[in-house]
Amino acid sequence: QVQLVESGGGLVQAGGSLRLSCAASERTFSNYAMGWFRQAPGKERQFVATISRSGGATYYTDSVKGRFTISRDNAKNTVYLQMNSLKPEDTAVYYCAARPKITGRSEKEYDFWGQGTQVTVSS
């Protein structure tokens, strides 16, 4: 069982930056691909970014490409989401998730989830 705890959310003005962190309890963290998803009010949860076990491969949804960067530190059992040039439409609860082995873009592919952290971008 992998426990995930997100942090770093908050209120920021449009154009600002935030860095989300997700700490994992699992000592074999490097065995898991990690993903970030978000859910805005009244909308379904959507894929944001994913990173491979080694960190060598990353994928993003089109709306965040060039603004968000996913990274990981396997020594610290932590995955990050650096968010720059934030827009009001980025407002959502952000979740990190883990799945064994390979990356994925569907929430159905992920086995473990954090509780989420709120990101609010004001205009």
> Can you tell me whether residue 74 is helix, strand or coil?
coil
Query: Amino acid identity of 81?
Result: L
pLDDT band, very low/low/confident/very high, at 30 (cuts 50, 70, 90): very high
The 10s digit of each residue's pLDDT in 59-108 is 999 999 999 999 999 999 999 999 999 999 999 999 999 999 888 899 99
Rounded CA separation 62/44 (Å):
17
Which residue reads 């080694």 in tokens?
Answer: 54
Burial grade of 111 (CB within 10 A; 0-12, 13-18, 19 or more): exposed
